[in-house]
Amino acid sequence: MHNTKTDNNMDELLLIEAVERYINGDMTPKEQVFFEEIRKNNPTIDQMIVEHTFLYHELTKQANIKAYKHSLYEVENKLSEEGFISKAKLYSKAKVVFFWKKYKRNIAVAASIAGLVSIATTILISSYNNKLGNSNITVLMAKIDNTAKKVDQLDKAITANPSIQKNPSPDYRATGFLIDGNGFILTNAHVVNRMKNIYVENKEGVYFAAQTIYTDENTDLAILKINDISYKTIYNLPYSINKKNSNLGEQIFTLGYPRNEIVYGEGYVSAKSGNEGDSTAYQVSVSVNPGNSGGPVLNNKGEIIGIITSKNSVADGVVFAAKSKNIYSLIEAFKKADNNATIIKLPTSNSLKGFDREQQVKKMENFVFMVVGN
């Protein structure tokens, strides 16, 4: 029994070798005739040869494509070095590229990109709907300029505060908030996608190193984990995260870092769907600016109902926020993706209820972080 099997294996090895030589044309004419004769008379062997030839071709094709892709990368790298292919991440219109280049010198590099996160989003959103007019480009310029000043302040703050030194040059700024006192912070996927090194800063201006552990492009959400020994676990987050849809007209407020300082904004839920009927988001009416991305949206009871993601740069006061119930599905998906990961426990009890707005904000601001990175 055992022997036959070994024999079969040996036969198969010999046959494969023969096939390979046959395909490569390495056989002597005599061998070739002999081999073709076997093929003709033995359908099983013929089938083997067909299969093997196919496999062999696939393997060679694979090898060639890999080599070709390698050449593509090399050419691409060369052209990138030359500047023929733009290396910088540019979003939206080609015209932006032009302005970007033109004003690059005037604006501290770190500064200008900070605004781009959300500016890019707004432009992206508006360009879904209609073509951009030139007027929007001017707006963008002003914004970059403004942000330049703001981030200038940020730079000053960095030199002033030695504890911040470990983060030398933040290129982007946005907002995030704790969803688990063990250092899990929720923010937007579009925020972390542009950052290699991520830091979060609390209200006191203390920086902690953080890492992206999960992102979901569909809902534009991302989970960060603070990886810093100086971070102390916070127990009992005072807010809960709403699983249900909010009602039209519900009063809301948000906290975020459009400046180097936490900024409060209030408004209401203006539509139950986001951009172009996106059912995973709300349209809210609240004043936000670049840097607000990832900020929590809370209702009167102090429940988190959404996360600021983007705004329409053409229409005034049209802001989109991802619905809070997406956070639950995000956590589920994260669990599924990585079984070994620490379990994230979302806050369930809400102790902000019944307080007046000032009190709520005072408590809340301890858990909202500035997300910066480069």
Partner 1 sequence: MSNLEQEKQLLAGLALNDSIVIEAIYRDNYPIIQALILNNNGNSDEARDIFQEAMVVIYEKAVSGNFELNCQLKTYLYSICRRLWLKRLQQLQRFGNLIEHLEETVVVEEDLELHEKHNADFIMMEEAMNKIGEPCKSLLEAYYIQKKNMQEIATDFGYTNSDNAKTQKYKCLIRLKKLFFAQYKNG
Beta-carbon contacts of residue 318 (< 8 Å; ≥ 6 apart): 270, 283, 285, 311, 312
Beta-carbon contacts of residue 158 (< 8 Å; ≥ 6 apart): 164, 165, 167, 168
Within 105-134, the residues that bind partner 1 by CB under 8 A are 124, 127-129, 131
The residue among 178 and 321 lying less far from partner 1, judged by its C-beta, is 321
Residue 301 CB, nearest distance to partner 1 (Å)? 32
User: Which residue is listed with tokens 């301890």?
Assistant: 366
Q: Sign of dihedral through CA atoms 334, 335, 340, 343?
A: positive
The bridge status of strand 303-311 relative to strand 240-241 is parallel
Region binding partner 1 by CB under 8 A among candidate stretches 54-62, 157-165, 239-247, 315-323: 54-62
Residue 8 makes contact with partner 1 by CB under 8 A:
no
Residue 321 CB, nearest distance to partner 1 (Å)? 18
Going through the chain in order, the beta strands assigned E by DSSP cover 172-180, 184-188, 198-201, 207-216, 221-226, 240-241, 251-256, 263-271, 281-285, 296-299, 303-311, 319-323, 368-373
Instruction: Determine the Cα–Cα distance for residues 31 and 17; give it in Å rounded to an integer.
Output: 13
**Which listed residue (11, 17, 26, 31) binds partner 1 by CB under 8 A?**
17
Residue 374 makes contact with partner 1 by CB under 8 A:
no
**Which listed residue (33, 38, 50, 67) binds partner 1 by CB under 8 A?**
67
Residue 212 CB, nearest distance to partner 1 (Å)? 17
Residue 55 CB, nearest distance to partner 1 (Å)? 5
**Alpha carbon 154 to its chain's center:** 24
Within 211-240, the residues that bind partner 1 by CB under 8 A are 217-218
* Interaction pattern, residues 322-351, with partner 1; x per rule: CB under 8 A: ------------------------------
Residue 91 makes contact with partner 1 by CB under 8 A:
yes
Instruction: Determine the Cα–Cα distance for residues 191 and 221; give it in Å rounded to an integer.
Output: 9
- Give the binding site for partner 1 (CB under 8 A): 9, 12-13, 16-17, 51-52, 55, 58-69, 71-72, 74-76, 78-79, 84-94, 97, 124, 127-129, 131, 217-218, 276
